[in-house]
Amino acid sequence: MLVVRPITPQDYAALYTCAVESGYGFTSLPVDEGLLKRRIARAQEAFAREHVSEPGEEGYLFVMEDTETGEVVGCSGIEAAVGLTEAFYHYHLGKVVHHSKSLDVYNALETLTLCNDYTGVSELCTLFLREPFRKNQNGRVLSRFRMLFMAEFRERFSQFAIAEMRGVSNENGESPFWSWLEKHFFNMDFNQADYLTGIGEKAFVAELMPTFPLYVKMLEPEAQAVIGKVHENTRPALRMLENEGFRFRGYVDIFDAGPTVEVEVANIKSVRESRRMKVRIDTVDSAKATRYIVCNTRVSDFRAAQARVELVDDTIIMSPETAQALRLSEGDAARCVAL
């Protein structure tokens, strides 16, 4: 059974493997031993905080584990509030109008403006599932369980949430958008810039990135074409988030111009439709059972998985095996949403 749980220091090697396999452009999982170990330590601290009244610097990082083999097959995270101690940059896609009534000229031009508009919002991040396990809706579980966690612990998160989508790059990790920026403003390739940002070295962004609005028409056609577009491997993740209510509002990544999508947490479909129910452990009638994402309601001992369960009034009926995997006992509370 594949179960999602908080990351532990013993998961470092598996997290490093995920970082290597995630490839170019996956900013939140750089191949850097120090940073990965710090992320694990930071997550441990976040899960250990029992009384949280408002979102702060907490970074929750989870892994998906095969309980039969002990193998970690993927990871997924939530940042409680971004940009509180380090600037959190985006480009915002807007418009300016140049109009001359006397000359009968009207031009509406798209611009990209550097901003920090998402400061303080929560972020769904670091979603990666290893290739052999991209089946049986495992990826959907590894993404959507976070919405159950946010629904259960609303005080720990902002009113709004975002997700940054990986932008277009080729097999060598070269981004058409960054190529234009590199040519005119920087002296480093995309992978180096992306890596520096991933390990927290962001000062160069403020120092070298153009702070004035950029006219999109000034960019090379290849760069213009990828603004707000996602990497081919990211399309399924984007579709899933769109089904949950996330929408693109014109904010793009400053390196690869990939879209950032946003939503009000209360309006996330899985948050709205999730139910908190009382656990009953019994034999599950296969004819009546339906597949759900189910989680317990504890922070440091959090567990989530997909399972076939029955819902009767305010009770969720699950097998002893499922209850054991989720560390649930008779009469406990569980939260669930249809898979």
Taking only the tens place, the pLDDT of each residue in 301-332 is 999 999 999 999 999 999 999 999 999 999 99
Tokens (6 digits) for 209: 């990135």
Residue 285 has pLDDT above 60, yes or no: yes
Residues 6+ apart with CB under 8 A from 174: 189, 190
214-230: pLDDT as tens digits:
999 999 999 999 999 99
Q: Give me the pLDDT at residue 200, please.
A: 57
Spatial neighbors of 325 by CB under 8 A, at least 6 apart, are 1, 3, 67, 303, 305, 307
Distance of alpha carbon 133 from alpha carbon 138, whole angstroms: 7
Active-site residue numbers? Answer: 231
- Amino acid code (one letter) for 176: P
Picking from 30, 214, 20, the residue whose alpha carbon sits closest to that of residue 110 is 214
Note the pTM of the prediction, 2 decimals. 0.90
Q: Give pairs for 323-331: CB < 8 Å, separation 24+.
A: 323/279, 323/281, 325/1, 325/3, 325/67, 326/3, 326/294, 326/295, 326/296, 327/296, 327/298, 327/301, 327/303, 328/279, 328/281, 328/296, 329/279, 329/281, 330/279, 330/280, 330/281, 331/278, 331/279
Q: What tokens does 62 get?
A: 């989870």
d(CA 250, CA 92): 6
CA atoms of 162 and 93, how far apart (whole Å): 16
Predicted pLDDT of residue 2: 97
Per-residue pLDDT band for 174 (boundaries 50, 70, 90) equals confident
What mean pLDDT do residues 11-24 have?
89
> pLDDT per residue over 38-96, tens digit each?
999 999 999 999 889 999 999 999 999 999 999 999 999 999 999 998 888 899 999 98
CA-to-CA distance for 310 and 312, rounded, in angstroms? 6
Q: Are 273 and 336 in contact (CB under 8 A)?
A: no
Assess contact for 31 and 191: CB atoms under 8 A. Answer: no
Task: Name residue, tokens 């959507």.
Answer: 144
The secondary structure of 47-74 as a DSSP string is: HH----SS--S-EEEEEEEETTT--EEE
pLDDT at 22: 83
Domain boundaries of the chain, sorted by first residue: 2-91+115-270, 274-338
Q: Give me the CATH code for the 2-91+115-270 domain, please.
A: 3.40.630.30
Neighbours of 269 (CB within 10 A): 15
**What span, in angstroms and rounded, lies between the C-alpha atoms of 45 and 7?**
11
Say what the pLDDT of residue 102 is: 82
Spatial contact of 98 and 153, defined as CB atoms under 8 Å apart: no
205 confidence band (pLDDT: 50, 70, 90): low
Q: CATH topology for 274-338?
A: Barwin-like endoglucanases (2.40.40)
CA atoms within 13 Å, Cβ hemisphere of 114: 14
Q: What is the pLDDT of residues 95-143, one digit of tens each?
A: 988 887 888 888 889 999 999 999 999 999 999 999 999 999 999 999 9
**Phi, psi dihedrals of residue 218, rounded to the nearest 5°:** -80, -20
CB neighbour list of residue 261: distance below 8 Å, 6 or more residues apart: 162, 163, 165, 238, 241, 242, 246, 247, 248, 249
